[in-house]
Amino acid sequence: MSAAPDPEADNVPDPPPEWTLVITPRRSLWHFPFQEIWEFRDLLFMLVQREIVISYKQTILGPMWYLLQPLITMVTFVVIFGKIADISTEGVPPMLFYLAGIVIWNYFADTFVRTSATFLLNAELFGKVYFPRLLMPLAMVISGLIKFGIQLALFLFIYAWYLATTNQIHASAWLWVVPVLVMIIGGQGLAMGILFSSGTTKYRDLNFVLQFGIQLLMYATPIIYPMSLLSPRYRAVLWWNPLAHVVEIFRAGLFSVGVPSWEGLAYASLFMVVSLVVGILAFNYTEQTFIDTV
């Protein structure tokens, strides 16, 4: 005789499905979320688009400011430092000399300033939804690279015109190092930006330090003057500024001037890597507690 069916058998709940994603608190400061960043690459692409759109939203000229900003700065430098102060440009046309430095510096400064407010500007979003927090500053670095590309195209257009009409400029073998220089500038701006962002969540005074500190750093970088113009004493001091080597090598590749060195390139690269590791460690530490201090 078969057993009578149990009336409660049909009411037994199904076993819970396997979780596809488990989010757990991260405690290790040495966690570098490269795999997570790759998994969220679609979100990174969307964030890059957002950064580009909001940069000049509700402006009349829009992306034209990408071109006008370096041009206006270049004209100002030519008049003040080239005509009035009569600072040497090592035989390079002043327009090209200053614009080369401006294009490199703008990418670093823009990346540094924008990433330095990562936690303050995105605190509300970070408190609501999970995604690798490092995506935010990375999106700013990549969107800044697009802006850098536009300004570099403007510079190359003027450079090509001088190359075709004059005999004042000559490229050198250092030109092949330019992609490495761009990586150093982007990485250095990201490193210093996330380091400052980690500090500003608790110490808002760093925002004021950043405002005039970025200007002082520009004058400590050979943007408006060549390093060869300095005495050996001051050149030795400026050697410790990694950005100085980037600018000098960039100009050396384009104009065959300056005092570039492989030692300077190695130092700038090592400085970028070390500062990026320190910045990510500080970012990881702040990520765990910033919501209580912002």
pLDDT average, residue stretch 195-215 = 78
Report if residue 2 sits inside a domain. no
Q: What is the pLDDT of residue 75?
A: 93
Q: Is the pLDDT of residue 2 over 60?
A: no
Q: Of 289 and 258, which is predicted with more confidence?
A: 258
Angle at 263 between CA 261 and CA 266, to 5 degrees: 115
Angle at 87 between CA 64 and CA 249, to 5 degrees: 65
Report if residue 259 sits inside a domain. yes
Contacts of 5 (CB under 8 A, 6+ apart): none
Q: How confident is the model at residue 23 (pLDDT cuts 50, 70, 90)?
A: low
pLDDT average, residue stretch 122-130 = 72
Report if residue 14 sits inside a domain. no
Q: Is the pLDDT of residue 166 over 90?
A: no
Report if residue 221 sits inside a domain. yes
Q: Is the pLDDT of residue 201 over 70?
A: yes
In the chain, the number of structural domains is: 1
Element (H, E) at 6: none
Q: How confident is the model at residue 171 (pLDDT cuts 50, 70, 90)?
A: confident
Q: Is the pLDDT of residue 126 over 80?
A: no
Q: What is the pLDDT of residue 60?
A: 62
CA 83, chain centre distance (Å): 32
Q: What is the pLDDT of residue 165?
A: 86
Rounded Cα distance, 221 and 112, in Å: 15
How far the first Cα of the chain sits from its last, in Å, is 72
pLDDT average, residue stretch 207-231 = 87
Q: What is the pLDDT of residue 267?
A: 96
Q: What is the pLDDT of residue 269?
A: 95
Report the percent of the chain where pLDDT is more than 90: 35
Does residue 39 contact residue 45 with C-beta atoms inside 8 Å? no
Report if residue 191 sits inside a domain. yes
What predicted TM-score, i.e. pTM, was given to this entire model? 0.83
pLDDT, the chain, mean:
83
32-75: pLDDT as tens digits: 667 777 887 888 888 888 877 777 666 666 677 788 888 999 99
Q: Is the pLDDT of residue 25 over 60?
A: no
Rounded Cα distance, 133 and 12, in Å: 42
Domain that holds residue 140: 33-280
Q: What is the pLDDT of residue 39?
A: 81
Report if residue 287 sits inside a domain. no
Q: What is the pLDDT of residue 130?
A: 74
Report if residue 126 sits inside a domain. yes
Report if residue 168 sits inside a domain. yes
